[in-house]
Amino acid sequence: MTEANTPKLGQIVKIRKGRESGKYAVIIGIEDGRFVAIADGDKRKFDQPKKKNLLHLELQDWISSEVVDSLRESDRVTNGKLRFAVAKFIEQMDSNA
Span 16-75, pLDDT tens digits: 999 999 999 999 999 988 999 999 999 999 999 999 999 999 999 999 999 999 999 999
How many domains does the chain contain in total?
1
Q: Cα(97)–Cα(94) distance, rounded to whole angstroms?
A: 5
Residue 97 has pLDDT above 80, yes or no: no
Domain residues for the domain of 54 are 3-96
Distance of CA 75 to the CA centre of its chain: 15
- Please report, for the domain that includes residue 30, its CATH number: 2.30.30.30
Q: Are 86 and 25 in contact (CB under 8 A)?
A: yes
Q: Cα(88)–Cα(24) distance, rounded to whole angstroms?
A: 11
Q: Are 34 and 15 in contact (CB under 8 A)?
A: no
Q: Give this prediction's pTM.
A: 0.92
